[in-house]
Amino acid sequence: MNEMFWVHMIMAGSALLPSALMKLINPDGTRKGIGYNTPSAHRSVETSTFANRYATKGMFWAGLGTITIQATLYFLVPDSTAILVTAGVMTFSFLTVVGLTERQISLRFDKEGKPKADYSEY
């Protein structure tokens, strides 16, 4: 098999790896160094639990989207271009997940980490 095929397979695995690892952790409680770690996510146990669950789902869908684009590029463009575009898409999608998670935390929780009245059930 072509070595670029294996490069694409490794990149596809690394696109799904963050969500797989985040799914394995226990999201209840605040653990620095494991899972989704930002200052806003560590305001309370509720924010940490919500952020880990939300980011895990986002990382999974971002990984699937990256793999879909990667599979399409594998057949359409030269190998080196496909790798560079896939790496850019992966980076952009993961940064988008972080931005969306931070936005949801600010919408659903106050500055102390308590759920807002509009989002009492998350």
pLDDT reported for residue 117: 75
| Statement: residue 72 has pLDDT above 80 | yes
Nearest to 62 by CA among 9, 107, 18: 18
Q: What's the CA gap between 99 and 3, in Å, rounded? A: 35
Which residues, other chains included, contact 8 with Cβ-Cβ below 8 Å and sequence gap of 6+? 70, 74, 82, 83, 86
> Among the listed ranges 26-40, 68-82, 93-107, which one has the minimum average pLDDT value?
26-40
79-108 vs 45-76: helix axis angle to the nearest 10? Answer: 160
Which residues, other chains included, contact 106 with Cβ-Cβ below 8 Å and sequence gap of 6+? 40
Of the two residues 42 and 27, the one the predictor is more confident about is 42
Burial class from Cβ neighbours inside 10 Å (0-12, 13-18, 19+) for residue 86 reads: buried
Q: Where are the alpha helices (DSSP H) in the chain?
A: 3-24, 45-76, 79-108
Of the two residues 30 and 5, the one the predictor is more confident about is 5
